[in-house]
A = this chain, B = another copy of it.
């Protein structure tokens, strides 16, 4: 940036704020001209649920951690996995560098990708988001295992730098993974409160990568605009996230989410993202009695309270029994399967969105095994953890075998991406990997 005054000032301030654990927020509008900057204070949210309509907040791109992980969930998301078409390490570096530069400017709310570009070059300015606020846009960049090693081949001379935690995910019971929705050399997650800002940003990032990468698979997601403090509901009608890690709980984040000194330098303060589109048989689910649904989830539908409790945030009390000595919560209820006390304390930061790809001809998994047009919709499961072996794999290996929810849920895609630490202004995400 040869004329960095405005952005440098902004980024430095955001960087300091992010580093001290306080999210910086700036009221700014994506416009063709100069961005209107007004400082404001973000409200800390206790839970990672969908945000109220707060149109004019900017999330810092630069900082100790990448955005989009501890960030309170925005309303819309778009994930794209890319495969590199080049076997040159410099081209990989070029993609990561250009992505970081583009993302920093996108997140700042400026529509101009390159302030020195010819204004007649539409590539610099698609115009799609002109007039819209930045809407808490975040861009989260991840590296897939295939960058380090693919079919035994060390494509970029990075094989010996592959972190032990960047495993090949095992095959789980029930997995029906579509290769065209699985894996990828690189993964990008864009989130914002405005769907058009998300569209604008993901298209921009795809264009930036285009010289050296092709899109492999993509999935957008959404969350309802539930009121502040209300745990959002998924497409099964249940509150989702009641027991999630609180991103403001620094101890939990350090313990469960951020990579510590056990990881390579480029991953410290980073995290591992697991992303899995999970198709849910909504038509079938909707025919189930509510009492059965509640047994399946291990929670009450309307309030979200445990089956043994009254209020959403009551303790689960998995050993509570009815007057006949029968457990109130089935051992294979979803909430019981996921509870830390049944998993040696394991926890992950979930950041899942719902998805809906319209309708498709789908074969039912129960008599009379109809083939019919049904909603191709469900959960875009997403979580962040310090180490997938002690996070997602630890939890899901058992759940994939026993969770009552499995009869309605099918994992149809999968990805694991190492999301490096955040970057300082002038640095790019993942730069330390190449040091």
Which B residues are in CB contact (< 8 Å) with A55? Answer: 53, 225
Interface size range of chain A in the complex: 35 or more
Q: Is A159 an interface residue (CB 8 A)?
A: no
In the complex, A158 has a CB within 8 A of chain B: no
Which chain A residues (359-412) contact chain B, with CB distance < 8 Å?
A: 359, 372-375, 377
Contact bitstring A189-232, B, C-beta under 8 A = 1, else 0: 00001111101000100110010001111111011111100100
Pick from B197, B214, B357, B373: contact of A358, CB under 8 Å? B357
Q: Evaluate contact between A214 and B372: CB separation under 8 angstroms.
A: yes
For the complex, what is the distance from the CA of A32 to the CA of B125, rounded to whole Å? 46
A168 to B302, CA, bound (A): 47
A233 touches B122 (CB 8 A): no
- Given the known inter-chain contacts A286-B122, A287-B123, A373-B216, please indicate yes or no for A224 contacting B358, CB distance below 8 A: no
Chain B residues with CB below 8 A from A238, complex form: 127
Give the nearest-CB partner of A375 in chain B.
B203
Least CB distance from A389 to B in Å reads 30
> Is A237 engaged at the interface, CB distance under 8 Å to the other chain?
yes
In the complex, the count of this chain's copies comes to: 2
Q: Which of B128, B233, B236 contacts A233 (CB 8 A)?
A: B128
Does residue A104 face the partner (Cβ distance < 8 Å to B)?
no
Q: Is A356 in contact with chain B by the CB < 8 A criterion? A: yes
Chain B residue nearest to A301 (CB atoms) is B127
A125 to B218, CA, bound (A): 31
| Cβ contact within 8 Å between A224 and B207 | no
* B residues in contact with A286, CB < 8 Å: 122-123, 126, 203, 207
With contacts A195-B222, A286-B126 known, is A131 near B53, CB below 8 A? no
CB distance from A74 to the nearest CB of B (A): 12
A165 in the interface, Cβ–Cβ < 8 Å?
no
A49–chain B nearest beta-carbon distance, Å: 11
CB-CB under 8 A for A131 and B230, given A53-B55, A286-B207, A357-B358: yes
- Complex contacts, A310 vs chain B, CB 8 Å: none
**Cα separation A283 to B218 with both chains bound (whole Å):** 16
Shortest beta-carbon contacts, A-B, top 7? A127-B237, A196-B224, A53-B53, A215-B373, A218-B358, A218-B359, A32-B302
| Interface membership of A282, Cβ < 8 A | yes
Q: How far is the CA of A223 from the CA of B210 in the complex (A)?
A: 26
Contacts of A230 in B (CB 8 A): 131
Q: Are A359 and B217 in contact (CB under 8 A)?
A: yes
One of A149-157, A171-179, A288-296 at the interface: A288-296
Q: Given A224-B129, A356-B199, do A290 and B235 touch, yes or no (CB 8 Å)?
A: no
Is the pair A235, B373 in contact by a Cβ cutoff of 8 Å? no
Select from chain B the residue with minimum beta-carbon distance to A287: B123
Residues of B within 8 A of A293 (CB): 122
Give chain B residues whose Cβ lies under 8 Å from the Cβ of A207. 283, 286
A394 to chain B, nearest CB (A): 30
Nearest residue, chain B, Cβ from A127: B237
> Which residues of the other chain, B, contact A290 by a CB distance below 8 angstroms?
119-122, 125
User: Which residues on the B side are within 8 Å of A287 (C-beta)?
Assistant: 122-123
Does A354 interact with chain B (Cβ within 8 Å)? yes
Is A80 an interface position by the 8 A CB rule?
yes
CB pair B199 A358 closer than 8 Å: no
- Chain B residue nearest in CB terms to A227: B131
Q: How distant is A116 from chain B, measured CB to nearest CB, in Å?
A: 16
Known: A283-B207, A372-B214. A224 touches B237 (CB 8 A): no
A265 interfacial by beta-carbon distance below 8 Å: no
Q: Which of A32, A128, A214, A217 has the most C-beta atoms of chain B within 10 angstroms of its own C-beta?
A: A128
Minimum distance in angstroms from A288 CB to a CB of chain B: 6
Known: A126-B286, A129-B233, A357-B357. 14 other contacts (CB 8 A): A80-B359, A122-B286, A122-B289, A128-B234, A128-B236, A128-B237, A130-B233, A195-B195, A195-B222, A195-B224, A196-B222, A196-B233, A210-B283, A357-B358
